[in-house]
Amino acid sequence: MLHTLTTSVRHEADVRKSRFLALAAPIESPEAAQAFLDASRDPQATHNCWAWRFGAQYRFSDDGEPGGTAGRPILQAIESQGYDRIVVLVIRWFGGIKLGTGGLVRAYGGTAAECLRQADRVALREECLVSCACPYADMDRVQARLLAAGARIEHAQFDGQGVVWQLRCARADAADIEALYTDQTRGQGCWRILESDDSAAQGGVAG
């Protein structure tokens, strides 16, 4: 069972005169991770190293530290504690003593891991992404019923006939929501599952 954070959290550590500050937050999209990093990084710090995971997607950055000593240990802290849909930024202010590659791995990974250990977490539900269509005449009513049933509309595309939605819903509720959708569209709609949480094939890279 994967978990995410209930709210943002922070943890500070001093390692051989260098100050490390870990900031972690839940995210609703990869774009939200980038927005968090843009808002939280300290341009006056020596390094702003980070990692995030959102389903099968992930990215990490060493921000000038030796390769593999910062971003990947932060990502490993996320994965080893069973987190998903979170971003972790570890800011370092250099204190004058070099830590070496092993020391950097322990400092970045350890600060991130301790930050996440202290955090309140909540279990993630498994979701699926669905494409479905609706004519304009029924749009408001069907949308209201889908949202009330727990679906979340992520994208809407309009054409001459109506709207095509991409929505997410809990995998456990998908059959019931599909039956509701079929009833509300009088069997005229098209319901198609595009992907499930565990079937996404997008990988990650260092950034």
Write phi, then psi, for 181 (nearest 5 degrees): -60, -45
> Can you give the pLDDT at residue 201?
31
Q: What is the pLDDT along the chain (207 residues), one digit of tens a residue?
A: 789 999 999 999 999 999 999 999 999 889 999 999 999 999 999 999 999 999 889 999 999 999 999 999 999 999 999 999 999 999 999 999 999 999 999 999 999 999 999 999 998 877 888 999 999 988 999 999 999 998 988 889 998 889 999 998 888 888 999 999 999 988 887 888 886 554 333 344 555
Contact present, 74 and 88 (Cβ < 8 Å): yes
Find out whether 143 and 158 touch, Cβ atoms under 8 Å: no
Tokens of 64: 């000038």
Predicted pLDDT at 124: 82
Amino acid of residue 132: C
pTM for this model (two decimals): 0.69
Q: Side chain identity at 96, as an amino acid letter?
A: G
Helix (H, G, I), strand (E, B) or coil at 56: coil
Q: Are 57 and 40 in contact (CB under 8 A)?
A: no
pLDDT of res. 22? 98
* Alpha-carbon dihedral sign for residues 197, 183, 190, 136: negative
pLDDT of residue 196: 59
Give the Å distances, CA to CA, from 119 to 4, 5, 23.
10, 7, 11
Residue 173 pLDDT? 86
pLDDT at 128: 86
DSSP for residue 126: P
> How would you label 130-160 residue by residue, b for 16+ Cβ within 10 Å and e otherwise?
bebbbeeebeeebbebbeeeebeeeeeeeee
Q: Could you give the domains of the chain?
A: 3-123 (3.30.230.30), 127-197 (3.30.70.240)
Beta-carbon-side half-sphere exposure of residue 186 (alpha carbons within 13 Å): 5
The gap between the terminal CA atoms of the chain, to the nearest Å, is 28
